[in-house]
Structure 1
Amino acid sequence: MAEVAGLALGVLALWQSCVSVFDVIDSSRRYGMDYELLCVKLEVERVRLLCWGDAVGLNNASSPSPTPDPRFGRVEVRSTVIRLLGAMQQVFENSERLQEVYGLRPYSAEALAGGNEIQISQSQLILGGVFKRAYQNLRKMAQERQRGTVLARKTLWAVYDRKKFAELVVEIREFNDSLASLFPDAKARAAEGMRVEIDESVQVDQLRLLQDAMIDEHEELSEVASVRLEALGVTVSARTELLSLTEEQMDALTVTGADDDVEEVPREAPEGTAGQAAAGEEEPLDEVSKKLMDLEAYVGKRSTGALTLSIIGPQSYSEHVSAHVYFDRDTRDSSFSRIWDERDKGFVLMQHASFELYRKKKYMRKRHREKDSYESLDSEDYTLFDAEAQPKYENINPGTVTVEGFGIECWDFEMTKPRNKTIFVNHAEMPNVSAAKLLRRLDELRRGGDKIGWSPDEDELDIKEFVGTLGIVYYDQKYARDPKRWVGDLYSVLNRTDIFADFTSSSSVGLQWAGPERDGRIGYWNLLWQIIIAKELARRLDSNEDNGYTGFTERILASMIISDLWLTNVGLILTDEKIDTSTIKVPETEAEKEKAEEFKNKGNAALQKKQYQVAIDLYTAAIKIDLGNAVYRCNRSAASFSKEMFEEAEEDAYIAAQLDPKYAKAWSRLGAARLQLGKVKKAREAYQRALAVAGKDATNQMRRGLEDVEAKIKEVIKEINEEKDREKRHGLRSKFHDQDWDILGKKVEMHSSVHERQVEGLLLFAERMKWPFINEVRDYAEDVYTNLRGGETIDIHLHDWLFGLVLPGKWFSFKIMTALIMCTKPVKDIGAAHYYECGLSLPKRSYWRSRTVLGRVLGCLPGVISLCGWIGPCPPVEFEGPTSSSPNGENKKPKHIRISTRRLAPHEHKPNDENSVINIGSEDKYEATRIRADEEIGPYLEDMQDSSRWIIPAPPVQEISTCKLLSIRLKKLPLNIAHKPSSSQAGGELDLDEEREVENETQYRASLVFKLDSSTEPVTYKLFTNPVFVTLPPCKPGPKGPHEVHMRELPRYQTNIWTVEQLKDHTAEEGEAMEAVAGSPMIINATGEGAEVLARAWCSERGKNAVVRKKGGPCFVCAVRAAGVTSLGTRVLIWLE
């Protein structure tokens, strides 16, 4: 980090110069609204530059403990930033272009005689009351500059031509956009910082200017300013106020002397600085602002503890969306309150260690900024692996999500829009890595190895063994030695599709190694290779808080997850590969035996004559006749050894020793061959075995061989210790240790260290879900791993489960149910589901995925639970017509069910924005209580602060009616013609495979039938869409318990309330009309018995997301506001108490 900080100091100086150089434009004079708005636009660009510098750590780069963004350590990033900042500074310092291109004129020399430097005055900081933190940093920089240096006099420029000056603003904005694009996460933090400051400002005049100035270039800032003004009760914009001036006032602002082509602004010389406010003083509030602050404090006190929901995102550069829960005026200690709040928010805790695999863990170390209360997001946080894999997604109430989960749903939906993404992939030639090296490094990593960073040189050489140099030549040697650079390089390696797997594209990890190397399968050794590289990446991410490298993708995250699970759960052991002598060809007649002996004798003679190739050929002829003869193999080994074909000699000697383990000469020759190959450890083992087998018949050659090997081992160890070159020493040590994992004659066995845990978790899942075949599952599952070790073949998905090799989220949900099915003999034949979202229909019950419509709607039924992405046990289904293509198909046979629904947008679509799919938080949540156009400010303030006008609205009354679910009906939809088998199109019968394919591709329409005690006829709701239901956390009590509202807002809580009996007759026009009049979301009174499931079914039929208020949830006011368009925007509230 110190090196990065040193490199960033050069950028820091240039950034500070750029921030200060804006002062050469005089913005302290006002000559009309258009000109003032242009100055505001330029000042916003200065604030953007300030916030960007703060977000990337430049604001503290010169402090004793600097934390500049690590990307400044990359030459290409740092040089680009310097070029952009230099170009920006040049714009302000090129006097000729300032006059001719940008329409500025310098003040006269006499006018500047009062001082030798441009001072930052409060009048020049025209947005100082809004962006207080940014200007505080600016003042601090100015003070340090004045203390440390004597600056030359700078020319102060005045705006002369408005059109040309607008071009200057555009150019500076483009420079800022370019800087922000280099650091997308920093851009988000800077934007959020500006938004927060606007939300806290009470400077009405400055907010008006910001609202009008930003309406075209930065619409999001204009919108935030507009919302803040409305919250303060201000409805007149700065431009509107200008238009309402009297004729005399307008004349005072009229620009004279300008022709039609050049909109000239005559300027006076600037006044002396003596009368200006001190740099550190705040601009005094006007009378209206003071009264509005008092009103804000009064209203805020009444809303203490109220639930406030915030949704951030998406941005033009990122799909990321997040939702957050706050409590108004919460003064509790954050570390203490967070514990209780997370409990109240309904996050689901895993009930078993095996279930922890359902949630995604964090790999990148979080980066904390000393001055900020928030954690900055990193590349992993901006990567949505799978919605339900997120720890804060699911709510403890089945079928619903948390507020944070709703943000994840928004994020997931936003990702449906295609975006241009640049992913770096390095296709450089990779080193040829031996199996022994892979196994050795896996063992080191599994045992923990040295902590990354303890020996940077060794870390560098460890990773180079497996990826090489990647074809990269670094001219900056300091950066070449920076261990953090490997993060970006390893991204580009793991993004390769030719040699490494994308685990997210497959339902099974085992298929990558268990099957042939085709159909995208990479094979066993490439899988181990990928696991090692992913682990090396994870070690670096975990040890480094600054991971600002582009290229992090879902497939990289998947590689790190599988790598972590493999190294934790899987043990690899080398065992001797036994030769089955019962299947080896032997001579069938005495003549064949004699022929083989004849070849052997001739080979011996050739060997004596040093005709080594002739001897090899003759021994080979003998071996073809008698494959099980150890002597023939041993003799051929001797001939190959003499010809210096040591690998062939090793192989023959090993086979001879396996054919006859008591053949001492074979062991001795194996030791000699291995010694020549440099496998000194293995050679020692062979000679020791030879002496043990020979006993008293051991030869001097065997003893000398062992002595030579022992001496060679000492020599190798000495050579390693005395080698001065780090790279050579590392290579020698690795080669020495690789010998322990030589696979010649060995078999690699996989052992699960978690199989008992996994079986226990599977049985717990079956018990909690009330699986009807629990006894059959227990009988099979308890012995399945023992049977596997004994040679039994099991389904690859069950194998994945026993070894704990499964991705989180939907992959886990699919895996646990598939494993359960494979352990259940009565339903085993239906196999694995064809799609992740498939539910399961059994004769007496059904189970549904938590993110599907039946999972969400039926989750509130009594006795139904949510566990590991499954909702159940639910009532059995009824099929409308035969369920298979066979005329005699059985309606009640077990089968996977795929429900067809239309996905709902979690928020409003924004048709005029090409950069995002959803539009969040753009409505006016203060419309009911803000000042009306025909209302005076005095009476308005008096009315709003009249305590008798604040009341607690009554929630919906408790219903006594009941509702009962009669049936779940499924109707088969027409099969896509692309999936129709040829025999079906020809009118013939389907075979079993074709019938299975048809069932896999068939989709169903679900409908629910209800019986209401208020009606004699059943009511049916068809589940056309897949809505999202959000369970709200409780609010904190206000001064009177439940929160109060002003009488102006009361109609919002008294209209648009519907009982479940009325829902079938509800029309979209009625709902829109009521919402338009009172601004109220639709409130469904589901307090009656069984009413919630009907309310959810109605939402599915009508295409409505909904907020659900459970017992113990927020007060009525907070619940209604949460469902409103200014909060979560579901426009529907299901009230349960």
Structure 2
Amino acid sequence: MAEVAGLALGVLALWQSCVSVFDVIDSSRHYGMDYELLCVKLEVERVRLLCWGDAVGLNNASSPSLTPDPRFGRVEVRTTVIRLLGAMQQVFENSERLQEVYGLRPYSAEALGGRNEIEISQSQLILGGVFKRAYQNLRKMAQERQRGTVLARKTLWAVYDRKKFAELVVEIREFNDSLASLFPDAKARAAERMRVEIDESVQVDQLRLLQDAMIDEHAELSEVASVRLEALGVTVSARTELLSLTEEQMDALTVTGAEDDVEEVPREAPEGTGGQAAAREEEPLDEVSKKLMELEAYVDKRSTGALTLSIIGPQSYSEHVSAHVYFDQDARDGSFSRIWDERDKGFVLMQHASFELYRKKKYMRKRYREKDNYEYLDSEDYTLFDAEAQLKYENINPGTVTVEGFGIECWDFGMTKPRNKTIFVNHAQVPNVSAAKLLRRLDELRRGGDKIGWSPDEDELDIKEFVGTLGIVYYDQKYARDPKRWVGDLYSVLNRTDILADFTSSSSVGLQWAGPERDGRIGYWNLLWQIIIAKELARRLDTSEDNGYTGFTERILASMIISDLWLTNVVIILTDEKIDTSTIKVPETEAEKAKAEEFKNKGNAALQNKQYQVAIDLYTVAIKIDLGNAVYRCNRSAASFSKEMFKEAEEDAYIAARLDPKYAKAWSRLGAARLQLGKVKKAREAYQRALAVAGKDATNQMRRGLEDVEAKIKEAIKEINEEKDREKRHDLRSKFHDQDWDILGKKVEMHSSVHERQVEGLLLFAERMKWPFINEVRDYAEDVYTNLRGGETIDIHLHDWLFGLVLPGKWFSFKIMTALIMCTKSVKDIGAAHYYECGLSLPKRSYWRSRTVLGRVLGCLPGVISLCGWIGPCPPVEFEGPTSSAPNVENKKAKHIRISTRRLAPHEHKPNDENSVINIGNEGKYEATRIRPDEEIGPYLEDMQDSSRWIIPAPPVQEISTCKLLSIRLKKLPLNIAHAPSSSQGGGEPDLAEEREVENETQYRASLVFKLDSRTEPLTYKLFTNPVFVTLPPCKPGPKGPHEVHMRELPRYQTNIWTVEQLKDHTAEESEAMEGIAGSPMIINATGEGAELLARAWCSERGKNAVIRKKGGPCFVCAVRAAGVTSLGTRVLIWLE
């Protein structure tokens, strides 16, 4: 690492020069909005360069212990970085190009007090209130340079030509983009640092500038600034209002002058000012700006408590999307209000300890901002394991998600577009670890082990014991023992696909060890090795302050989850292997017995004559005749011992002792063999057993043997304590403790420490879901673990459940229902579902996954609940036509059902961005209340501040009509020809295996049939798509309770309201016309009885996501805005009150 640091010195110096050289452009004077925005754009590029340097370890001003990124050790990377930084510096130092190409002019001597050069000592802080940490680091760097060097005097340049200056900004941005592409992980960390700084800023003016300046080049920064402004209660920017004015209106407000072809900026300071200091003075606000700010304050006051929703992401470097809820002008104490807000947002709490496995826990150590407890995002936060596994995904109203959950849906949808991701995988040879070592370390980790970091040397040796050096040689030993270094190395190990399991690709953890090592199964011992490695990683992530290493993937997270569950829920115990003597071959006749004795006697004679191999061969013949004879085994052990074949001697002595537990000599010889093998602790156990069995007949040899063993144990302990070399000491200690887990003659048993909790949770799930076979489940489940311990074979999924070994989210939902089925004799034969999204049809009711269309649509039925990813109990289904290709399959039997639907994009498609599949933003949010092109500014301000023009829109009226669900119908879709049974193609009848394959692959189209009291004929809705329904949290009361809107915006709340009776005849053109005229989303009046179910079904048929406003939710204004294109963008609001 020291070598890398040395190589990076040249890069460091060049980077510092580039960061400082931005000061030659004077961004302190205010020449107009366009020029100010250009200066902001340039300054953002400087901040990007600062954050990039910090992310790659160049900025030791921010952290003196920071080390340069190891990739600087690669010649091609270092050379490219130097060339890019050198070219960037040259842009600012080439005087001729600055004037001719980029439209800059040097300050005159008069403007600078007789000098045309200035001393550059610190930043001009154009965004100092936003990027505080970045500028603080910049000042530290400047101070460091001042201590060792004379300050350089450089020419100060002023902007002369706006269009040419914009080209300079573009060129610098391209240099930054190129630098970021060399370090993709550093790019993400730098972007996160900028996001965090923006999100904690309270400088409204600078945030507004940033929002406007970044709208094109860095839309993600503009969006973050916009969200922050909303959180601060700033609903509209005065500058944005000015930008929206027409040219004629601006002319009326400002002094006009002749324009040249070149847009020249006046460079001289006002008379009486003193150069640069005077240039930094704030210009007084003009009258129009003051009035616009007064208008802004007036609008803010009327919107106090209003619900503001925002969505951030995706970015060019990440699919991550998050949705957030704010309340305008919220001045409540954060710590107090957050508790109530969390409750109002509808997050679901788990009702039982076993259900906690449905949610993903956090493994990386969270980092917070000190002053407001703000969380920094890390690699785990940017990894979407499974949508429904997220803590804030599901809403308490069945079939719906929270606002935060909608952001997760956007994120999940963005993952459908593949991105090129490069991760490092280390395929170096790993040590061949013994079973005893695996079991010993597993037990240490289960019991807690030493806290990571207490002894770095021991931490280093502990992990090397299982992964070795990974083929990496570090010349800096301090860095080699740095626990943070192991994070990236363990990523590269756990991403291996050749020897490690990908738990996300399988529905069962047990399949990895219960079956043979084929078909992707890694076997029991490899599984334990993976659990240890994942735990070692988790221990380091839990203590590391910076987890910005690349390579964290879903499969690594899955390994950490299973490792954590195994170490928490599973206890491994070694028991003596029982020998079933009833099946052992014995001599059938006295002649055979005599023959065996003859071989034994000959073996004894050979042993006396020290013919050890001859004795072994003779004893072997005798053993083949009488396999259950302990004496023959014991004698062969003695011969093997004499020949120094101690492993074979140990095995024979152990079998002899197990065949005849009261055979003292066998126990004694077992102790002697183990002593020679260095298994002193096991030898002591054997000698103690020999003396106990022999009693008063114990021999001196047995007693001396025990004394020798005790002395060896004391000697071993002394050797460990006195060993000075840390590696040798660690090796001696590990081997000493490994003896406790020697598996020779032992049976490795897995015991669940949570089986009672798991059975209780399964019964609670059955009760809450009104499982019709609850008594069958109770009768079987209460004794299932006892029966398992007694030798009964159970389904592997039920085994996973009893041991609590299941991944969160869809894996958990699949597991709990499968376990329930396996405990139900009446439906057990249908087995496990073939797909995670399959529902379950029973003769008198049905159950559906919460993220499927029937789960989302039927979730609003009375008596239906959502629990652990399941919606039920729902009405039974009706099949249209035969349900199977075989005539002997009954129409009403229990079966898994897979519904075919088309997935909807949660937000608009974004065709111009190759990295995104949805468009998320809030542009045009205040379009309805902006000044119109033909409107004068004076009347506009007067109209907007006229209190009589602000009213509370009336919500949809209460409907008295009723809607009743008649049936849930399923129509079988044509089977993919690849899954068609071969027998049916030949005209024959499919066998049971083919029939099961057909059932597994069959998909159905669902439809709901309704009866409306306003219609004589039933109404059918086909569920073609799988929409997302978002339940809104309540807003906070405004000055008059429900929030007001200006008359300009009123049509948005009156023109696009539909009753459920009108929905079938609704056309897309009608909503588009209304939205185009008034900007109104489609509002469905679902206040009638049963109307919500029909509204949800309509959304599925027509392909519409929707926002749902339930009783106790936000006011009508906030609900309509939430569904609008500038908020969640569903364009549909289902109003229920």
Tell me, yes or no, whether TM beats 0.5.
yes
Give the distance between the partners of 2:228 and 2:584, measured in 1 at CA: 87
Give the distance between the partners of 1:427 and 1:813, measured in 2 at CA: 35
Compared with structure 1, are the counterparts of its residues 918 and 602 closer, same or farther at alpha carbon in structure 2 (3 Å cutoff)?
A: same
Residue by residue over 1:834-860, the C-alpha shift from the partner in whole angstroms, topping out at 9 and shown as x without a partner, is: 000000000100000000000000000
Q: Which sits farther off after the overlay, 616-625 or 1085-1094?
A: 616-625
Structure 1 position 735, deviation (Å): 0.3
Give the distance between the partners of 1:531 and 1:228, measured in 2 at CA: 42
Compared with structure 1, are the counterparts of its residues 337 and 65 closer, same or farther at alpha carbon in structure 2 (3 Å cutoff)?
A: farther
Structure 1 position 888, deviation (Å): 3.7
Q: Is the 8 A contact 1:127 1:206 kept in 2?
A: yes
Compared with structure 1, are the counterparts of its residues 991 and 68 closer, same or farther at alpha carbon in structure 2 (3 Å cutoff)?
A: same
Q: Secondary structure at the match of 1:60?
A: coil
Q: Does residue 1:488 correspond to 2:488, yes or no?
A: yes
Compared with structure 1, are the counterparts of its residues 36 and 791 closer, same or farther at alpha carbon in structure 2 (3 Å cutoff)?
A: closer
Structure 1 position 711, deviation (Å): 0.9
Compared with structure 1, are the counterparts of its residues 261 and 925 closer, same or farther at alpha carbon in structure 2 (3 Å cutoff)?
A: closer
Compared with structure 1, are the counterparts of its residues 163 and 770 closer, same or farther at alpha carbon in structure 2 (3 Å cutoff)?
A: closer
Give the distance between the partners of 2:898 and 2:164, measured in 1 at CA: 62
Residue by residue over 1:325-378, the C-alpha shift from the partner in whole angstroms, topping out at 9 and shown as x without a partner, is: 010011111111111000000000000011011010001111113367631100
Q: Is the 8 A contact 1:70 1:548 kept in 2?
A: no
Q: Which sits farther off after the overlay, 120-129 or 718-727?
A: 120-129
Structure 1 position 596, deviation (Å): 2.0
Residue by residue over 1:964-995, the C-alpha shift from the partner in whole angstroms, topping out at 9 and shown as x without a partner, is: 00000000000000111211111101111111
Compared with structure 1, are the counterparts of its residues 255 and 76 closer, same or farther at alpha carbon in structure 2 (3 Å cutoff)?
A: farther
Aligned match of 1:636: 636
Compared with structure 1, are the counterparts of its residues 596 and 757 closer, same or farther at alpha carbon in structure 2 (3 Å cutoff)?
A: same
Compared with structure 1, are the counterparts of its residues 405 and 237 closer, same or farther at alpha carbon in structure 2 (3 Å cutoff)?
A: closer
Compared with structure 1, are the counterparts of its residues 15 and 736 closer, same or farther at alpha carbon in structure 2 (3 Å cutoff)?
A: same
Structure 1 position 754, deviation (Å): 0.7
Structure 1 position 902, deviation (Å): 0.4
Structure 1 position 215, deviation (Å): 6.8
Compared with structure 1, are the counterparts of its residues 363 and 63 closer, same or farther at alpha carbon in structure 2 (3 Å cutoff)?
A: closer
Q: Secondary structure at the match of 2:391?
A: coil
Gaps of 5+ in 2: none
Give the distance between the partners of 2:39 and 2:600, measured in 1 at CA: 100
* Count of residues in Structure 1 that have an aligned counterpart in Structure 2: 1137
Q: Which sits farther off after the overlay, 335-344 or 68-77?
A: 68-77
Structure 1 position 156, deviation (Å): 3.8
Give the distance between the partners of 1:245 and 1:302, measured in 2 at CA: 24
Give the distance between the partners of 2:734 and 2:971, measured in 1 at CA: 64
Structure 1 position 95, deviation (Å): 6.7
Give the distance between the partners of 1:252 and 1:1122, measured in 2 at CA: 37
Structure 1 position 418, deviation (Å): 0.4
Give the distance between the partners of 2:1022 and 2:248, measured in 1 at CA: 67
Compared with structure 1, are the counterparts of its residues 252 and 162 closer, same or farther at alpha carbon in structure 2 (3 Å cutoff)?
A: farther
Q: Secondary structure at the match of 2:912?
A: coil
Q: Is the 8 A contact 1:683 1:709 kept in 2?
A: yes
Give the distance between the partners of 1:508 and 1:863, measured in 2 at CA: 32
Q: Is the 8 A contact 1:211 1:237 kept in 2?
A: no
Compared with structure 1, are the counterparts of its residues 237 and 412 closer, same or farther at alpha carbon in structure 2 (3 Å cutoff)?
A: closer
Written as runs of structure 1 = structure 2, the 5 A alignment for 1:261-340 is: 274-277=274-277, 282-340=282-340
Structure 1 position 471, deviation (Å): 0.8
Compared with structure 1, are the counterparts of its residues 33 and 793 closer, same or farther at alpha carbon in structure 2 (3 Å cutoff)?
A: closer
Q: Which sits farther off after the overlay, 107-116 or 504-513?
A: 107-116
Compared with structure 1, are the counterparts of its residues 251 and 409 closer, same or farther at alpha carbon in structure 2 (3 Å cutoff)?
A: closer
Residue by residue over 1:804-856, the C-alpha shift from the partner in whole angstroms, topping out at 9 and shown as x without a partner, is: 11111000100000000011001010010000000000010000000000000
Give the distance between the partners of 2:1070 and 2:20, measured in 1 at CA: 57
Compared with structure 1, are the counterparts of its residues 208 and 351 closer, same or farther at alpha carbon in structure 2 (3 Å cutoff)?
A: closer
Structure 1 position 933, deviation (Å): 0.7
Compared with structure 1, are the counterparts of its residues 210 and 310 closer, same or farther at alpha carbon in structure 2 (3 Å cutoff)?
A: closer
Compared with structure 1, are the counterparts of its residues 270 and 685 closer, same or farther at alpha carbon in structure 2 (3 Å cutoff)?
A: farther
Give the distance between the partners of 1:626 and 1:676, measured in 2 at CA: 29
Structure 1 position 288, deviation (Å): 2.6
Q: Secondary structure at the match of 1:1039?
A: coil
Q: Does residue 1:732 correspond to 2:732, yes or no?
A: yes
Compared with structure 1, are the counterparts of its residues 345 and 158 closer, same or farther at alpha carbon in structure 2 (3 Å cutoff)?
A: closer
Compared with structure 1, are the counterparts of its residues 203 and 307 closer, same or farther at alpha carbon in structure 2 (3 Å cutoff)?
A: closer
Q: Is the 8 A contact 1:975 1:1003 kept in 2?
A: yes
Structure 1 position 641, deviation (Å): 1.4
Q: Which sits farther off after the overlay, 47-56 or 437-446?
A: 47-56
Q: Is the 8 A contact 1:5 1:66 kept in 2?
A: no
Residue by residue over 1:1025-1075, the C-alpha shift from the partner in whole angstroms, topping out at 9 and shown as x without a partner, is: 000000000000001000000010000001100000000000001110011
Q: Secondary structure at the match of 1:616?
A: helix
Structure 1 position 152, deviation (Å): 2.5
Q: Does residue 1:2 correspond to 2:2, yes or no?
A: yes
Structure 1 position 591, deviation (Å): 2.7
Compared with structure 1, are the counterparts of its residues 651 and 289 closer, same or farther at alpha carbon in structure 2 (3 Å cutoff)?
A: same
Q: Is the 8 A contact 1:107 1:269 kept in 2?
A: no
Q: Secondary structure at the match of 2:8?
A: helix
Q: Which sits farther off after the overlay, 213-222 or 56-65?
A: 56-65
Q: Secondary structure at the match of 1:67?
A: coil
Q: Secondary structure at the match of 1:1058?
A: strand
Q: Is the 8 A contact 1:928 1:1049 kept in 2?
A: yes
Compared with structure 1, are the counterparts of its residues 211 and 336 closer, same or farther at alpha carbon in structure 2 (3 Å cutoff)?
A: closer
Q: Is the 8 A contact 1:212 1:238 kept in 2?
A: no
Structure 1 position 478, deviation (Å): 2.5
Q: Is the 8 A contact 1:73 1:479 kept in 2?
A: no
Q: Is the 8 A contact 2:494 2:534 kept in 1?
A: yes
Compared with structure 1, are the counterparts of its residues 373 and 421 closer, same or farther at alpha carbon in structure 2 (3 Å cutoff)?
A: same
Q: Which sits farther off after the overlay, 1040-1049 or 37-46?
A: 37-46
Give the distance between the partners of 1:305 and 1:247, measured in 2 at CA: 35
Compared with structure 1, are the counterparts of its residues 367 and 29 closer, same or farther at alpha carbon in structure 2 (3 Å cutoff)?
A: closer
Residue by residue over 1:551-603, the C-alpha shift from the partner in whole angstroms, topping out at 9 and shown as x without a partner, is: 11111111111111111111110000011111111122233223322322222
Give the distance between the partners of 1:1080 and 1:151, measured in 2 at CA: 60
Compared with structure 1, are the counterparts of its residues 53 and 938 closer, same or farther at alpha carbon in structure 2 (3 Å cutoff)?
A: farther
Written as runs of structure 1 = structure 2, the 5 A alignment for 1:373-452 is: 374-452=374-452
Structure 1 position 178, deviation (Å): 4.4
Q: Is the 8 A contact 1:345 1:1033 kept in 2?
A: yes
Structure 1 position 1010, deviation (Å): 0.3
Compared with structure 1, are the counterparts of its residues 271 and 405 closer, same or farther at alpha carbon in structure 2 (3 Å cutoff)?
A: same
Compared with structure 1, are the counterparts of its residues 7 and 538 closer, same or farther at alpha carbon in structure 2 (3 Å cutoff)?
A: farther
Give the distance between the partners of 1:746 and 1:703, measured in 2 at CA: 26
Give the distance between the partners of 2:257 and 2:867, measured in 1 at CA: 77
Structure 1 position 80, deviation (Å): 9.0
Q: Is the 8 A contact 2:117 2:156 kept in 1?
A: no
Structure 1 position 25, deviation (Å): 3.5
Residue by residue over 1:423-463, the C-alpha shift from the partner in whole angstroms, topping out at 9 and shown as x without a partner, is: 11111110111000011111111111111111111111111
Q: Is the 8 A contact 1:1080 1:1120 kept in 2?
A: yes
Q: Is the 8 A contact 2:765 2:867 kept in 1?
A: yes
Q: Which sits farther off after the overlay, 937-946 or 1018-1027?
A: 937-946
Q: Is the 8 A contact 2:845 2:877 kept in 1?
A: yes
Give the distance between the partners of 1:203 and 1:285, measured in 2 at CA: 17
TM norm structure 2: 0.91
Residue by residue over 1:446-504, the C-alpha shift from the partner in whole angstroms, topping out at 9 and shown as x without a partner, is: 11111111111111111111111111111222211211111111111111111111111
Compared with structure 1, are the counterparts of its residues 91 and 872 closer, same or farther at alpha carbon in structure 2 (3 Å cutoff)?
A: same
Compared with structure 1, are the counterparts of its residues 645 and 154 closer, same or farther at alpha carbon in structure 2 (3 Å cutoff)?
A: same
Aligned match of 1:1088: 1088
Structure 1 position 625, deviation (Å): 1.5
Compared with structure 1, are the counterparts of its residues 101 and 315 closer, same or farther at alpha carbon in structure 2 (3 Å cutoff)?
A: same
Give the distance between the partners of 2:202 and 2:600, measured in 1 at CA: 103
Compared with structure 1, are the counterparts of its residues 741 and 773 closer, same or farther at alpha carbon in structure 2 (3 Å cutoff)?
A: same
Q: Is the 8 A contact 2:29 2:279 kept in 1?
A: no
Q: Is the 8 A contact 2:2 2:476 kept in 1?
A: no
Q: Is the 8 A contact 1:923 1:1125 kept in 2?
A: no
Structure 1 position 317, deviation (Å): 0.8
Structure 1 position 688, deviation (Å): 1.3
What root-mean-square deviation, in Å, do the aligned CA atoms of Structure 1 and Structure 2 show?
4.7
TM norm structure 1: 0.91
Compared with structure 1, are the counterparts of its residues 242 and 989 closer, same or farther at alpha carbon in structure 2 (3 Å cutoff)?
A: closer
Compared with structure 1, are the counterparts of its residues 369 and 148 closer, same or farther at alpha carbon in structure 2 (3 Å cutoff)?
A: farther
Structure 1 position 39, deviation (Å): 5.6
Structure 1 position 609, deviation (Å): 2.6
Q: Is the 8 A contact 2:850 2:856 kept in 1?
A: yes
Compared with structure 1, are the counterparts of its residues 350 and 29 closer, same or farther at alpha carbon in structure 2 (3 Å cutoff)?
A: closer
Residue identity (%): 95
Compared with structure 1, are the counterparts of its residues 540 and 9 closer, same or farther at alpha carbon in structure 2 (3 Å cutoff)?
A: farther
